[in-house]
Structure 1
Amino acid sequence: MSESIKATIYRILSSAAITPYIYHGDLPQNPSYPATVYDIISQPAADLTEDVGVVGFRKARIQIDVYAQSVGAAEDAMERYYELLKSYSGSIGDGASPETVIDCDIWDEGANPDMDFEDEPTLRQIEGRSRDFMIHW
């Protein structure tokens, strides 16, 4: 399969067009807002099963952070991501053949504490919201 899980997450987030700027890992210096940052925060080894025809599955915990210039904008964007991802079911892969497409499911793991930027002068006027999701493929 040529499409990585990071590329899949980016594709899902960017196709929803909830924020115009989407980054993997970290918010860059001097970004435009509203912006989304996503990252894989844990990815345990594949779990094997005994089911006929099932080789195993993988899972990862992903974190979505939204940054905006107002509380309302940050909360609205996060609510839209929640609605998009809370029970997402689709496929990942390049689609070149049935062997390169794998089903995936995403579900909500809950909100993280609101982000506080009081110690960071360049971000004092920015609001942030964060939420975790689990993805199985």
Structure 2
Amino acid sequence: MTSKAEQLYKEHHVEFEKWFTSIHPNHELTFEWEHVYDSGWYKEGMAHGAWISWLDLTGKNTVARATDTVESLAKETQRHNESRLALSTRTEALLIPLADQLLTDGKLEELKSLVATFPPCPTRMTLAGKIAYAETP
């Protein structure tokens, strides 16, 4: 089953790439989708933060509301980013060492089951990246 993230990518990546290239004409980033454990990510060097912000600011990742403006969406995005950052900093300080210990102890499946309980968030993506790296031969 295709993830929400991959659906958004398939629907909007061409428009995003055109916009990104118009403001950063000399960039050396790639825009290709790459599957990793539990989701998808861009290849190394992709402007993932710009992609997420662009989706938020254009409202393409949510159902549009009649009262939305660029300013209201920017404020909402900033508020969400600040709250996510605070939560991510705290949770990652606790969970990254735990994940490293589980991987050291060879408990990859235990880490996968732990990560599966998380809602979509930056910490989950960080841990999914660790899992993908551990599974890479």
Which range, TM-score by smaller chain? under 0.3
- The structure with higher relative contact order (CA 8 Å, sep 6+) is 1
TM-score, normalised by the number of residues in structure 2: 0.26
* Bigger proportion of residues as helix: 2
